[in-house]
Amino acid sequence: MATLQIRQALGRALREEMIRDPGVFLMGEEVAHYNGAYKVSQGLLDEFGDDRVVDTPISEGGFSGLGIGAAMAGMRPVIEFMTWNFSLVAYDQLINGAAKIYQMSAGQYHVPIVFRGPNGIAENLGSQHNTAVDSIYAHFPGLKVVTYCDAHDACGLLKSAIRDDNPVIFLENEMTYGLKGELPDHEYLVPLGSAKVRRTGTDLTVISWGKQVFNAESAANQLEQDGISAEVIDLRSLRPLDHETIFKSVVKTGRCVILHEGYVFAGVGAEIAARVQEACFDWLQAPILRVTNRDVNQPYATGLEQLVVPSADRVVEAARRVLGLAVPADNRLDP
């Protein structure tokens, strides 16, 4: 076993895949000489040289498109966005390009590419550096969307993403790059499309992904104090979605809370709730509730910011509601 930070686990995945396949190369802003804005690519330039670890100008649309063309022509690029907020200037490349080329060409050109970088909520970064892009990429057929919460899955999922023969949106998180976890010494992969039951329970299912899984677990701990048994699922993939694990759990518990970053309106949670009610209507004992960012852009000041982002307390409250238990009188924050 090795104890690695998430950034190191991601770096290990990159390194292993670059050794394995000479077609894999890493490209993005500050990935080479600076060793990555968040040091995920530490040491890779020295090991692989600047043909395979490539610094770019600030040109997200330009280098995303370059990656897509290279993937069509037989390479396996990994494109790093310094954060996913900046992918919005490359959105056309990812949606009209990466997601659609395989089908537009009737299968003549596939696009094996990974776009990766930190996503979602950080701290005190204000409105433009806090976007959770999950739903705006998960919306489109042709893309896969993947995320992890711990170092083990970070490494195993990134390896699968790089080997996948389709474009993969790989969502990391700035706040957890330093979080340590245990990785086996031998090589392993975590398959895309498989959720993980992090904690088993019987009274309700809490579905989450990315770093919000930790809020789900902390809520489950609090609920346990009151004798409530929550099952916690880490989705790991938003597309493809592991329906089986979700439905099995909800059929068992009859109650479901979905927790994620980003917004409730047309968020991924809305999609999961819709699918759960279609498949598990007869087993549901209560409406499905969602805990997400409040419906407002991210403010800078710490006190305001804390009101916006999801928390374990809000998950506990939602859990008590779906269980029909007493909750604080009214919550003025939800419009």
| Residues with catalytic roles | 60, 129
Local structure of residue 96 (DSSP, 8 states):
I
Asked whether 214 and 123 are in contact (CB, 8 A), the reply is: no
With binding defined as CB under 8 A, does residue 3 bind another protein?
no
Q: Is 69 in the site for another protein (CB under 8 A)?
A: yes
235 binds another protein (CB under 8 A): no
> What is the identity of the amino acid at 30?
E
Span interacting with another protein, options 66-74, 212-220, 277-285, 291-299, rule CB under 8 A: 66-74
How far, in Å, CA of 113 to CA of 139, rounded?
18
Binding mask 158-187 for another protein (x = CB under 8 A): --x--xxxx-----------------xxxx
Q: Cβ distance 119 to 145 under 8 Å?
A: no
Q: How far is the CB of 66 from another protein (least distance, A)?
A: 4
CB of 239 within 8 A of CB of 197? no
Residue carrying the six token digits 């989450």: 208
Q: How far is the CB of 25 from another protein (least distance, A)?
A: 8
Question: Would you say 143 or 319 has its CB closer to another protein?
Answer: 143
3-class DSSP state of 312: helix
Say how many C-beta atoms besides its own lie within 10 A of residue 318's C-beta.
23
What contacts 24+ positions apart, CB below 8 Å, involve 73-76? 74/23, 75/23, 75/24, 75/25, 76/17, 76/21, 76/23, 76/24, 76/25, 76/112, 76/113, 76/162, 76/163
Residue 104 sits in the site that holds another protein (CB under 8 A)? yes
- Smaller CB distance to another protein: residue 54 or 318? 54
Binding mask 23-62 for another protein (x = CB under 8 A): --x-------------------------x----xx-x-xx
Q: State which residue, 110 or 248, has the beta carbon closest to another protein.
A: 110
- Compute the distance between CA of residue 41 and CA of residue 84 in angstroms, rounded to an integer: 17
> Cβ closer to another protein: 116 or 314?
116
Q: Does 241 bind another protein (CB under 8 A)?
A: no
- How many CA atoms lie within 13 Å of 112's alpha carbon, on the beta-carbon side? 17
Number of residues that make up the chain:
335
Q: Scan residues 107-126 and list those touching another protein (CB under 8 A).
A: 107-112
Does 97 bind another protein (CB under 8 A)? Our answer is: yes
Question: Are 142 and 167 spatial neighbours (Cβ–Cβ below 8 Å)?
Answer: yes
Among residue numbers 254 through 273, which ones bind another protein (CB under 8 A)? Answer: none
Single residue of 6, 9, 14, 72 touching another protein by CB under 8 A: 72
Minimum CB–partner distance for residue 52 and another protein (Å): 9
Q: Which residues bind another protein (CB under 8 A)?
A: 16, 19-20, 25, 51, 56-57, 59, 61-75, 77, 92-93, 96-97, 101-112, 141-142, 144, 152, 156, 160, 163-166, 184-191, 194
